[in-house]
Structure 1
Amino acid sequence: PLEGGQGHLLDRLAAIVAKQVLLGHKVVVVRCEGINISGNFYRNKLKYLAFLRKRMNTNPSRGPYHFRAPSRIFWRTVRGEGSFCSLPHGEATRRATLVAYWKLWKVCSDCLN
């Protein structure tokens, strides 16, 4: 099903999308820039800035990768970095399911009006 991200909470929407993907349903999420994160803005900003400071000492280009786009932040949440309700990492079939059944789209507002 097509899921609009506008006004949804990040972790709750991630849990719903992860469950639907694991059940084998195709899911498309649009307007990821409208997804809300609970808590006040200052606290969330401090958490994200702390995340930006994380890097690998020997070779920082190996990760962790710090996505700035809202769709990629949501993608990382569903995949399992920082969410307890996400997809398992180790199984190749689950990763293949993630690629096959899940799409994120950034929709321009001019196209919808």
Structure 2
Amino acid sequence: MYAVSRQDELGVLRIVLEEQYERHTTQLALLARQASQLPGADPAAAAALTAASRRALGDIARALHYLEQDGYGSCERCARDIPIEQLAHRPSTRFCTACRPPRGG
């Protein structure tokens, strides 16, 4: 029987995050090029897409940094491992589901 370790899962997540980083970097370059080539383009839509890509890049860069420092994937409050699925969905998460602060408050 094959058992996957937490380190193996984090290694796979690192690959996924690196691919996402590249994709968002490419998207930002394409948005910048389109904005200069299409004067009639919707500036609000382009600005929203640019902002979303920049936020995603920041989240991914932070996650990759913490992966390098071996401090990624543990809840900041209880120190338990955050499930890989939760990390994959939201790389910037710092808390497990039980410790996550309520939104908007």
TM class by shorter-chain length? under 0.3
Q: More strand per residue: 1 or 2?
A: 1
What TM-score does the superposition give when structure 2 sets the normalisation length?
Answer: 0.25
Of structures 1 and 2, the one scoring higher in RCO (CA 8 A, sep 6+) is 1
Q: Which has the greater radius of gyration?
A: 2
TM-score of the superposed pair, with normalisation by structure 1? 0.24
